Amino acid sequence: MCVVRHVLTPHLKYSLNIPMGYKIEQYEVTVEKEIRYVYKDSSFIYITNFCNTPNYSNIKSLGDSILQYRFQNEELTKQINEILGKPFIAVLPDTLQLSGMNSKSLFWKDIKIGKLSIGYYNVPKERKCLFDKSLKTIKIKQKKM
pLDDT (tens digit per residue) in 98-128: 999 999 999 999 999 888 899 999 999 999 9
Separation CA 76–CA 136 (nearest Å): 31
Residues 6+ apart with CB under 8 A from 114: 94, 95
Residues 6+ apart with CB under 8 A from 76: none
Instruction: Look at residue 8 in the predicted model and tell me its pLDDT.
Output: 77
Q: Structure pTM?
A: 0.84
The alpha carbon of residue 106 and the mean position of all alpha carbons in its chain are separated, in whole angstroms, by: 17
Q: Indicate the pLDDT class of residue 25, thresholds 50, 70 and 90.
A: very high
Is residue 81 pLDDT above 70, yes or no? no
Residues 6+ apart with CB under 8 A from 61: 100, 102
Separation CA 37–CA 43 (nearest Å): 9
Residues 6+ apart with CB under 8 A from 64: none
Backbone angles phi and psi of 74, in degrees to 5: -60, -40
pLDDT (tens digit per residue) in 49-69: 888 899 999 999 998 888 877
Instruction: Look at residue 73 in the predicted model and tell me its pLDDT.
Output: 66
